[in-house]
Structure 1
Amino acid sequence: MVSMKSCIFLALVGLTTLTTVHVYAYVDEYTDTLTGCQCWFDSSRWDCACCRPGGCQCYTPQPHRCIPCGTDCGDYPLFPWAIDNGVEQHVASSCPQCVWTVMTMFQSISIPSGFVTKTYSPSDEDLINPERGWWKFKAVHASDYHVLPVSRLQTFRSEGHTLIFRYYVLDLFVHSDISSAFLANLQADLNNVRAAGVKIVPRFCYTLTAGDSTDAPLPQALRHVAQLKPFLQANGDVIGAVQTGFIGTWGEGYYSDNYSTLNSVGNPIIVTDDDWAKRATLLDAVLDAVPNDRMVQIRYMKYKRRFTGDDSPLTESEARSGSKKARIGHHNDCFLASDRDWGTFQDLSADYPYLSADTRYTVMGGETCNYNPPRSSCDTAERELALFHWSYLNPTFKQDVTDEWKQQGCYDRIGRHLGYRLELVSGTYRSAVPQGGTFCGRLEIRNVGYAAPFNPRDVRIVLQQDGVIVTSLMVTGVDPRDWHPGTLHTVPISVQLPSNVTPGSYQVFLWLSDPSPTISDRAEFSILLANTGVPDPLTGLNNLGHTLQVEPTGSHSSC
């Protein structure tokens, strides 16, 4: 289905002279469009329904509808819609919420000459892309600190790991300030992470021992956060996200000496109003310590609801607002362990749609913790990784689970689709531009991964001549965090060439670079597209296969 904006742009660049535009409102409460999204049960198909927040695709024989996540398609009667030659038609409906608005507009527009359209082939290559994929688990205790060597981190990256999960266990400092030696080692870790071309997801806690609920009292924990803040702020460029940590066993916030109260059998798991207040104070301090453009992940979604005072998931208008709600993401450290992932979910009918909608705009990751077939097998794993927009996952825990994924044949497929996987479908480009003129065009990009990129990302057009970069031009008004899975995204290009770009032929590249000045020119931190003959890991550039002719004279027309 083509949007009005897309159709008008196609007409302007000369792809058609007679444009029929279909503008559709949503189909029902859970179904956005009947077709146009990737089918969860067959990744080669793109004719399944696109879902609204809280909705999940059905399977055959009802691939063109969405129902509330966590419910069974078999409980719903056949959808009263027909699909005819790819055009959606409202045949009959007993659904009072259904809205179907169709507007057709015919407009004859003169066709500008001088544009060329190219199409691109997708690739199954295992791309090493930043801030996604199988992470590498590395824990360190203050009592036995070993800095991560650059060579070891480079090896991890060569193996496909661009995220390092790092437990920082503050076991020596439960009742004292963090030592200067520890902070120096922390900075060395971050320097080495940067040098190796990877990023880190840190979690600070006081114990990794099951049954030990040690943590620091609130005044001491706040002091620790204040000590860590300068290091987190100064090294935000190589921080993917920060997990809240600090409270209880593993920093997961469940068993806790100082932020929970004993139950009737002596387990520290009851959270009183006073405990909630202390937890909220500590979370606010962590959010303040972490750079504002980075998210903080929380273990249990009920905690986010409590801390924000809002039971509704994040919406598009709220995303990236800098609010507490927009900056709290999720991690599930017992993925598929039980029917409720060992406490991750409580009310499935409410929690599934909430987490699915919230993680559309927030970061999600974690690990498995219990072999629990058939729930922990490939079928459910792939469906829920997509449903909850997972960006990263621990490949080594629980080993029984990931070993079964390898046996069943989904392990490599999961690895390719964790986080974003961006495919260039087509591009339309101006062929010639006068010196100092405007180069314009349009890209069609499809995300076949589980999630959109979750951190800021620049979009640039690069011109090369004889293998040398001549200029790099920022494309404004485009945010790759909007490139959600299951939708074809139109990316308009309009960049003015500097007047010192001399007449001649230039090869055109797309550069999805990291916006942090310290690493913006690093290939390791740039996103590569999943296409044949397009990505170049050595430069971080994506070759659009287009040659632009810069001419000495001509009109300086805008796009």
Structure 2
Amino acid sequence: MPRTSPLAGLACGIASLLLAGAPVNAAAAPWVETTFTTSAAELANPERGMYVWAADDLLQWTQAAADAQFQAGYRIVYAPVRLDAHANAALPADLLARLSEAFATARSAGLKLIPRFLYNYPRGETEYRDAKDAPLARVLGHIDQLKPVLAANADVIAYLQAGFIGAWGEWHTSSNDLTAAGPRTRIRDALLQALPPDRFLQLRYPPYLMQWAPHVPGWRDGSAASRIGTHNDCFLASATDVGTYSDNATTRQTERNYVAALSRVTPFGAETCNPADEQNPMPRTSCADILAEGRQFGLTYLNNSYYRKIFHTKWEQQGCMAEVRRSLGYRFELATLRHTAAVTAGQSGELLLTVKNSGWARAFNPRAVQLLLKHKTSGAVVRIALPAVDPRAWLPHGSSTVSAGFTVPVGTPAGAYDVLLALPDGAASLAGDVRYSVRPANADDTAKAQAWDAALGAFRAGTALTVR
């Protein structure tokens, strides 16, 4: 019969006491650990979820409207920017200034944007066929003018839709032949150069992506393809999603497989549309459809306003809308935490964290992870960065376990500290704004002293660390 060492038995006993909530002398135990309870609540978290429009033109958006959208639970807003009046001229300085003000409006409201620059917005079939965009040289000039504005406001850009070309900026029906291979590649390259390297571009049509990169790229592998995702503006609407995919069934399946695989490394966003635009469309409107394809394509965001009549309303009637809202994008659930029980100021400890991502997608933009120590008596907070931990690696439909060392800063007052975990925005400009922190999908548990701390934008683990 195998024998258990006295030390192993002692460790198991300590762990049992900790998990039961019993106090343990830090001097007697080198580490503490706990488990967490998941929550089924709908959580408003950055860069994911249902979205609404800023306005018909981002330059018409008001602070009052932005604040109301945040209060309604939205965290991303689609932002069309109309350039119709400047298709044959350089962008005026006042337009660039107003665009910067619109990004500031988003920042003030706690929102992030999905911008798309476009030269037209046709309202019917005749207008759609006659929609005008700009000559290639003008488009490239506009992108060059926009580059400093995009760079300065990348913190509140969730994803950039390619725009510029054709009707609605959807990269079809160009009046200037911009969908030809040469022009569209030059516009792609200009957009990638204008967009900071840690932000993703999104394109409307899979065939273009497949022509540029026949094989799905790896996660941030340095290629242009690894920075371009898709936005499907007729998601679920017909067999071809109203022209998104090929009429040929075999080709269409290849395209769909490509987009599904691509969504594991680049963001996929969508809106549904009116299937009447295609003959015999047979839209996929049931809960079974959205739940299966939302997962298959790693759906990160979805228009909450269109086309509700046969999609959103049906999901509400069939009872899956809450699950859809919960599943969009990432959804991080803390599972277990283990950390050093006592650390001398200026020295290091260890932390082991297990997280489940129950959402349909990974997080795509940089995000920090911090260990917070809150003094039990004074309430003073010490934030300790964990740079080795990257939430973008927490893949959907699975669990991730990360191990990280941490150093308690020199000069930290001695005493007992509550332990909290925070996931602030990766941009320095937003790191201190708790509205941009991710709230994990965990329930408050009074018995374990676990709870979301809205003031700190962090989740209290219910464990303690002694600083000596």
TM score, norm. by length of structure 2: 0.87
Contact 1:470 1:501 in 2 (8 A): no
Question: In the alignment, residue 293 of structure 2 is paired with which amino acid?
Answer: E
Which residue is 1:254 aligned to?
A: 172
What secondary structure sits across from 1:538 in the alignment? coil
1:124 corresponds to which of 33, 37, 40: 40
Which residue is 2:200 aligned to?
A: 295
Note if 1:160 corresponds to 2:73. yes
C-alpha distance in 2, partners of 1:434/1:501? 9
Question: In the alignment, residue 548 of structure 1 is paired with which amino acid?
Answer: L
Note if 1:378 corresponds to 2:299. no
Q: Which runs of 4+ in 1 moved over 4 A?
A: 13-16, 371-374
Contact 1:435 1:501 in 2 (8 A): yes
Question: In the alignment, residue 363 of structure 1 is paired with which amino acid?
Answer: P
- 1:542 offset after TM fit, Å? 1.4
Equivalent pairs counted in the alignment come to: 424
Which residue is 1:539 aligned to?
A: 456
- 1:15 offset after TM fit, Å? 6.4
- 1:536 offset after TM fit, Å? 2.8
C-alpha distance in 2, partners of 1:373/1:522? 45
1:488-529 Cα shifts (integer Å, max 9, x gaps) = 110213101112112100111111111211111110111110
Question: In the alignment, residue 225 of structure 2 is paired with which amino acid?
Answer: K
What secondary structure sits across from 2:129 in the alignment? coil
Which piece of structure 1 moves more, 533-542 or 489-498? 533-542
1:231-250 Cα shifts (integer Å, max 9, x gaps) = 00110011001110000001
2:159 corresponds to which of 241, 261, 268: 241
- 1:14 offset after TM fit, Å? 5.8
Which residue is 2:214 aligned to?
A: 311
- 1:467 offset after TM fit, Å? 7.0
1:339 corresponds to which of 225, 229, 239: 239
Which piece of structure 1 moves more, 244-253 or 530-539? 530-539
Which residue is 2:258 aligned to?
A: 354
Note if 1:523 corresponds to 2:434. yes
1:161-193 Cα shifts (integer Å, max 9, x gaps) = 110101111110111111222212111100111
Question: In the alignment, residue 287 of structure 1 is paired with which amino acid?
Answer: L
C-alpha distance in 1, partners of 2:217/2:363? 16
Question: In the alignment, residue 316 of structure 2 is paired with which amino acid?
Answer: K
Contact 1:259 1:276 in 2 (8 A): no
- 1:139 offset after TM fit, Å? 3.8
- Among all aligned residue pairs of Structure 1 and Structure 2, give the percentage whose two residues are the same amino acid: 35
Counterparts in 2 of 1:345 and 1:549: CA distance versus 1, 3 Å:
same
C-alpha distance in 2, partners of 1:467/1:479? 31
- What are the within-5 Å matches in structure 2 for residues 194-205 of structure 1? 194-205=107-118
Note if 1:403 corresponds to 2:313. yes
Contact 2:236 2:283 in 1 (8 A): no
C-alpha distance in 2, partners of 1:441/1:238? 31
Question: In the alignment, residue 109 of structure 2 is paired with which amino acid?
Answer: A
C-alpha distance in 2, partners of 1:253/1:425? 43
Note if 1:388 corresponds to 2:297. yes
Which residue is 2:267 aligned to?
A: 363
Q: Which structure is higher in helix share? A: 2
Question: In the alignment, residue 389 of structure 1 is paired with which amino acid?
Answer: G
Note if 1:496 corresponds to 2:378. no
Contact 1:463 1:507 in 2 (8 A): yes
Over the aligned positions, Cα root-mean-square deviation in angstroms equals 2.0
What secondary structure sits across from 2:417 in the alignment? strand
Which piece of structure 1 moves more, 470-479 or 245-254? 470-479
1:327 corresponds to which of 217, 227, 231: 227
- What are the within-5 Å matches in structure 2 for residues 22-41 of structure 1? none
**Long gaps (5+) in structure 2:** 1-7, 14-27, 123-127, 276-280, 445-450
Counterparts in 2 of 1:536 and 1:467: CA distance versus 1, 3 Å:
farther
- Higher relative contact order, structure no. (Cα contacts within 8 Å, ≥ 6 residues apart): 2
Counterparts in 2 of 1:469 and 1:361: CA distance versus 1, 3 Å:
farther
Question: In the alignment, residue 257 of structure 1 is paired with which amino acid?
Answer: S
